[in-house]
Structure 1
């Protein structure tokens, strides 16, 4: 019995010794943190989206306070207001941040799409895309398994009853997390005040598109030829719109009238309809 007590006493003394030693070392070797880091971190939206290029809000706060070369306007979700506050606290100059939101470049829901096969597997777009770019005949269209929805840290995405992601522009911060999550690059970021948008992601020729999609762009290039401001160019069978030229110069949106497939649509009307639906 005395041996047991002795062992317990020795273990207790050893533990106490190392506890005191660690406490002393912690106090002596502690690195004092700049209190401004916590102030900046409190300003950030805490989405931990990584759009700034750092591993979370705390990492960005530390970097922007301690490193003179880290700009104060990297927090995309925080937009201009946060950038200005961070700039004032750190004594740096912030650039203007253009507000953008996520946009789904596909109008063909998975429920109505022609399919190469019936997918039965992991409910993940990346997993499904590994087999012939997904079950749709269109290898560029939204797969509809909601990987982007799961990745959105701000709750701005949800799947509708047809299997297409819907963006709530009131919640979307434009962080781009859903863009990186989409294996087929169906999601893009678009200026919030864009006039028109291309609701198609296919780069196939028109004859091929007609076989598998009733609303896909056939690459006729009429929109590009008729745009009086040169805001639309054709790239790999798909129109690409310079939103800034369109916003600054266009009032009539001729492209909407001439698109026979309705692949180009009025983005403002679309955004309003989405807001009403969510």
Structure 2
């Protein structure tokens, strides 16, 4: 069954890349990441969400219709609806400061601000120690993803950064 999508095309995005192993947060892991509970998978009627090799939810944009049910079901609030035309995304929700975030996750945002300084459009800002992209301003140029020292900012097309 083909699903008709509405323009502008949107899809869910999980703002966690799995490097934190949030499911094991008792041992000092990230408290803000995906815990792999599967609530989003149960809510998705379109089979657009699965667990990746890290035990983190991943969305198939081709199947997702951006209904938002997964975002509502997520106990960690790491699922957001984003514009598919914007390929540059932040795959982290960690709110800890640099040293603590670095210790919790090998690929967490440390709030260094390099992305903010690099963005010529002024579309990215560090809020609560984590980069946030304002999609209506973002040009999808990819400079922030190229300059990110922690590889937190991803290019979903794989042009500027490897697809994960």
TM bucket (normalised to shorter chain) is 0.7 to 0.9
Residues 181, 222 of structure 1: alpha-carbon distance in 2 compared, 3 angstrom cutoff: same
> 3-state DSSP class of the match of 2:58?
strand
Of 252, 258, 273 in structure 1, the residue corresponding to residue 147 of structure 2 is 258
Q: Report the count of equivalent residues.
A: 161
* Residue-by-residue CA offset, 1:72-112 (whole Å, 9 max, x unaligned): xxxxx8544xxxxxxxxxxxxxxxx52210111111257x5
Q: What RMSD over aligned residues (CA atoms) do the two structures have, in Å?
A: 2.5
- Report the counterpart of residue 137 of structure 2 in structure 1: 245
Query: What corresponds to 1:18 in structure 2?
Result: none
Pairwise CA distance, 1:114: 8.3
Q: Which residue of 1 aligns with 2:56?
A: 164
Q: Larger strand proportion, structure 1 or 2?
A: 2
Q: Distance in 1 between matches of 2:130 and 2:53?
A: 28
1:113 shift after superposition: 5.5
Contact kept, 8 Å, 2:155 with 2:163, in 1: the verdict is no
Gaps of 5+ in 1: 1-44, 46-76, 81-96, 118-134
Q: TM-score, normalised by structure 1?
A: 0.53
What stretches of structure 1 move > 6 A for 4+ residues in a row?
none
Counterpart position of 2:115: 223
Q: Helix, strand or coil for the counterpart of 1:189?
A: strand
The gaps in structure 2 that reach 5 residues or longer are none
Q: Distance in 1 between matches of 2:18 and 2:48?
A: 20
The one of 3, 6, 12 equivalent to 1:102 is 12
Q: How big is the shift at 1:205?
A: 0.6
